[in-house]
Structure 1
Amino acid sequence: MRIKEIVSSIEQLAPVSYQESYDNSGLIVGDYNKEVSGVLICLDVIETVVEEAISKGVNLIIAHHPIVFKGLKRFNGNNYVERTLMLAIKNDIAIYAAHTNIDSVRGGVSERICDLIGLKNKKILSPVKDDLKKLVSFVPAEHADKVKEALFSAGAGSIGNYDSCSFSAEGTGSFKAGENTNPFVGEKGKIHFENEHRIETIFPKHLKGKVIGALLDSHPYEEVAYDIYPIENSNFEAGFGMIGDLEISENSVDFLKRIKKIFRSGCVRHTKIIKKELKKVAVCGGSGSFLLQKALSAKADIFITGDFKYHEFFDAEGKIIIADIGHYESEQFTRDIFYEIVTKKFPNFAVHISEINSNPINYL
């Protein structure tokens, strides 16, 4: 097993292209072609986690938070970042992180929060924009189904809970093959007219290479004509935060006590209880205050996240309950997501969840 195989299994769910511009997801330390002796999964890479990896005999750490966010000019061991990296490099331990990319996909951090709470009718709270592309190609009629199947297998044609979505229209294509060609139909030097299907389908931009590869491999023509258009539709399968409904309404105070227990929070900081009963719940793992207006627009009764600042609580303006359960607390189950991905793909491989509690915040 090589690092690139483990990484690929994670990035099938959470492509690195979905990370934010400030982020540093990906392989931070190590060689993609290095053989893996075992995996240690954690939320934060700190010195004690690297020591744990050494003691367990594993050489790949998968973390949610990247240990490196800014450029490092020195490795003198003057802070925990330098010391952690030095220890990992000295012991040939690779470090991989999936951060905002796994925050912003279905099956990622926010959906795990929804599932733990028991929400139904789940939707992305702030869908990704400028992510979808439209592919148009022209295929001989008798080969149209084969090409569409290849495109769908590559990930094209998914809209919400529907897949294999496309549009076809019949028409006549024309071309004249040159001397240095080997035309599938027609003759060199003569204009040929062919009954073709215009096939249209969509795909998220991170799948562009895979989708175009599938088109070229399945298309019978020597030279394949195709167009790719940017489209302005939001991708409702990716984005930050989620919103859903409780199966039955719950008393607000009882609900707050329940989430405190589920997420093992030292405390839940919240705004005034303005509603006796709750039904619609918005969530975001980590620092989610930037989504408050989205939660308000979606008419959520409560917004659960972490890292709300003092003055940001005023922005609820008596219209929604804000519940800050803590950054670590809201993201701790990300480790389970990584564990499930890797063990499902590689069931006979040594995968460990770190026993280190890396939460830097303590409560009296």
Structure 2
Amino acid sequence: MVYTIQDIVSYLEKVAPPSYQESYDNAGLITGNLLDNVTGVLCSLDATEAVVEEAISLGCNLIVAHHPIIFKGLKSLTGKNYVEKTVIKAIKNDIAIYAIHTNLDHVAHGVNKKIADKIGLVNTSVLVPKKALLSKLVTFVPEEDKEKVLSALFEAGAGEIGEYSGCSFTASGKGTFTPSDQANPHKGSKGNPHEEPEVRIEVLLPSLLERKVLSALKHAHPYEEVAYFLQRLENENQLVGAGMLGDLPYAMDEQEFLKALKINMELHVIKHTQLLGKPIKKVAVCGGAGIFLLPQAKRSGADIFITSDIKYHEFFDAENQIVVCDIGHYESEIFTKELLVEILSQKFTNIALYLTKVVTNPITYL
């Protein structure tokens, strides 16, 4: 089967919806034509000139990168810096670049889950869930149509709360209405008041699925005019947010844990605050620059917080309440390229998928 770049993008945006990215981010298709057929996909942490050259040599016309090569608007394309050089090379060679950044950071099966798996954490959960990503739908249906409508809503993606699906609330009552002479009533008759035993249905849904769920409701509902209301909620979405919290299968000595961390994450060095002389059991992680989550990591009861890009004075904020580790930005997210291959291979079994062999880390160690 031949797939287009649009096919790949549509799938990735179901896995990590663009609406989950931060406002400053630039995730999405950066170069390329959505209608082009895919010849191969190269997965990387960064899109650089060397990565574009690798894609060309492999016969790939799509690079899926974690970090967007363009963060700020470009006023010219003259090749005066690495960003412009990379974009020019990609365009000249018909290479599409797609970035899946903070939206992949924020999903429960994304970047931080990959880190948690590498470390061996269990019982994982999002450290700081995002708010205002959920909506509540309320509608009213005849009693005999309840199961049909609920089934349609669930199929469209409503009624999922954490690890539970098919979630709803129903209550019985009576609906009243009088069809006009131009109506085509499913119940009652034109011009006559009618009272119908009905069920009130309430379900939660991701706000990004509102259109799909409403379409399913209207298709499954027997009434000509469907009564419903939709409300955006401030509730937290437990499956979307920043950082991740998890437990080790068993408590470890601090030094023992740090040695295991260095091996599992393939680290050259770990910068950390003073050890506290107590076992490590609960662990908080955030790929990339995550020190902004330190207050929440403390409140969670985590024994250690693993992230990167920590400034000198920010280490003091640990205040001997938690061990804070800086393992490096590249090192914290390098396994994201493996995650991307895993995600794509679940859907596209006959497309050539590659892990970049280019080391894009701008930092070297003696």
TM range (shorter): over 0.9
CA distance in 2, matches of 1:20, 1:246: 30
1:161 equivalent in structure 2 = 163
Residues 1:82 and 1:166: Cα distance change in structure 2 (over 3 Å): same
- Determine if contact 1:286/1:330 at 8 Å carries over to the other structure: yes
Q: What letter matches 2:63 in structure 1?
A: I
Whole-angstrom distance in 2 between the partners of 1:124 and 1:13:
16
Helix, strand or coil: the match of 1:335? helix
How far the C-alpha of 1:353 sits from its partner, in A, is 1.1
Match of residue 16 from structure 1: 18
Q: CA deviation at 1:55?
A: 0.9
Is the CA contact (8 Å cut-off) linking 1:285 and 1:306 kept in structure 2? yes
Q: 1:229 aligns with which of 223, 228, 231?
A: 231
Partner SS state of residue 71, structure 1: coil
Find the residue that maps to 1:76 and give its secondary structure: coil
Mapped partners of 2:140, 2:166: distance in 1: 17
Question: How many Å separate the matches in 2 of 1:328 and 1:139?
Answer: 53
1:69-218 equivalences in 2 (<5 Å): 69-218=71-220
Q: Measure the CA separation in 1 of the matches of 2:178 and 2:87.
A: 60
CA displacement, residues 46-75 of structure 1 (integer Å, 9 cap, x when unaligned): 001111111111111100001111010000
- Output the CA distance in 2 between the equivalents of 1:355 and 1:267: 22
Question: What does the per-residue CA deviation read over 1:181-213, in whole Å, with 9 as the maximum and x for residues that have no partner?
Answer: 332222223322222111001011111122112
Q: Residue 333 of structure 1 is aligned with which of 323, 335, 356?
A: 335
Three-state SS of the structure 1 residue aligned to 2:189 is coil
Residue 242 of structure 2 corresponds to which residue in structure 1?
240
Aligned residue in 2 for 1:279: 281
What is the aligned counterpart of 1:47 among 41, 46, 49? 49
- Tell me how far apart the structure 2 counterparts of residues 180 and 71 of structure 1 sit (CA, whole Å): 55
- State the alpha-carbon separation in 2 of the partners of residues 11 and 216 from structure 1: 25
1:276 positional shift: 3.5
Contact 2:207–2:232 under 8 Å retained in 1:
no
Equivalent residue number for residue 6 of structure 1: 8
CA contact (8 A) 2:119 2:265 kept: no
Give secondary structure in 1 for the equivalent of 2:15: coil
- Partner residue, 1:56: 58
3-state DSSP class of the match of 1:23?
Answer: coil
Q: Secondary structure at the match of 2:63?
A: strand
Query: Aligned partners of 1:310, 1:179: CA distance in 2, in Å?
Result: 76
Seq. identity, %: 54
| Structure-2 separation of matches of 1:212 and 1:86 | 43
Indicate the SS of the match to 1:304.
strand
Q: CA RMSD in A?
A: 1.2
Deviation at 1:33, TM superposition (A): 2.2
Deviations 1:255-289 (A, max 9, x none): 11111121122210000111331111000011110
Letter in 2 for 1:177: P
Q: Which is worse superposed, 287-296 or 149-158?
A: 149-158
Give unpaired runs (5+ residues) of structure 1.
Answer: none
Unmatched 5+ stretches in structure 2: none
* Structure 1 equivalent of residue 362 of structure 2: 360
The answer on whether the counterparts of 2:136 and 2:230 sit within 8 Å (CA) in structure 1 is yes
Distance 1:85 1:189 in 2: 66
CA distance in 2, matches of 1:178, 1:335: 60
Give the conservation status (yes or no) of the 8 Å contact 1:139–1:197: yes
| Cα separation, 1, equivalents of 2:135 and 2:277 | 42
Question: How far apart are residue 232 of structure 1 and its match?
Answer: 2.4
SS at match of 1:65: coil
Q: What is the CA–CA distance in structure 1 between the aligned matches of 2:38 and 2:217, rounded to whole Å? A: 34
Asked if structure 2 preserves the Cα contact closer than 8 Å seen for 1:45 and 1:63, the reply is: yes
1:156 Cα offset (Å) = 1.0
User: Aligned equivalents of 1:363 and 1:325: distance in 2?
Assistant: 13
Count matched residues: 364
- Does structure 2 conserve the Cα–Cα contact (< 8 Å) formed by 1:124 and 1:241? yes
- The answer for the alignment partner of 1:265 in structure 2 is 267
The counterpart of 2:313, out of the listed 308, 311, 324, is: 311
Answer yes or no: is the 8 Å Cα contact 1:10–1:338 preserved in 2: no
Q: Supply the distance in 2 between the matched residues of 1:276 and 1:197 (Cα, whole angstroms).
A: 55
Q: Return closer, same or farther for 1:2/1:180 CA change in 2, 3 Å cut-off.
A: farther
Match of residue 30 from structure 1: 32
Alpha-carbon shift at residue 45 of structure 1 (Å): 0.3
Moved more, 178-187 or 165-174: 178-187
Q: So what's the TM-score if we normalise by structure 1? A: 0.97
- d(CA) in 2 for partners of 1:3, 1:217: 31
